[in-house]
Amino acid sequence: MKPANYIQLAKEAQARALAPYSGFRVGAVLISASGKTYQGCNVENSSYSLTCCAERVAMFKAVSEGDREFTDLYLCGDAPEYTYPCGACRQVLLDLGGSDLKIHLIHSNGTFKTVTVGDLLPLSFNASHLRKP
């Protein structure tokens, strides 16, 4: 699939966002190593800490369906520039997608730039820190 198709899928997911409190809608599409796509949107809750971001919705959906290897994530939001993953999403993307997972940040004009999870979360705490010697 071409990047334009993934951008369209992310925008479709964004349109389904439930953001009655912030009004900030986010859409994501995660691509597995096998090429399967998983869409996610942010889902807000009146108890703000229970809100789930689009990136985590897509990742948890993929993992719950048995996928464990991912190559790319496309992300769009209501910001006039690029929407970046929050800190919690960066940690989840690192743990479940790895530091080489490519994140394609979609600009409001439809273009995108690509970074990796490692770029967004340098010097990170990860599973290797939890292993006993």
- For the question of residue 12 being annotated catalytic, the response is no
pTM to 2 decimals?
0.93
Inside any domain, residue 133: no
CA distance 29 to 10: 5
Inside any domain, residue 70: yes
Inside any domain, residue 129: no
Q: How many domains does the chain have?
A: 1
Q: Report the pLDDT value the prediction gives residue 92, as an integer from 0 to 100.
A: 97
Inside any domain, residue 73: yes
- Using an 8 Å Cβ cutoff, are 100 and 77 in contact? no
Q: What is the CATH number of the domain that holds 45?
A: 3.40.140.10
Strand, coil or helix: 56: helix
Catalytic residue among 55, 65, 69, 81: 55
Inside any domain, residue 131: no
Q: Can you give the residue range of the structural domain that contains 83?
A: 3-123
- Using an 8 Å Cβ cutoff, are 48 and 21 in contact? yes
Tens-level pLDDT at each residue, the chain (133 residues): 898 999 999 999 999 999 999 999 999 999 999 999 999 999 999 999 999 999 999 999 999 999 999 999 999 999 999 999 999 999 999 999 999 999 999 999 989 999 999 999 998 888 777 876 6
- Distance of CA 46 to CAs 3, 18, 19, 20, 85, Å? 35, 11, 10, 9, 21
Inside any domain, residue 83: yes
Inside any domain, residue 63: yes
Strand, coil or helix: 22: coil
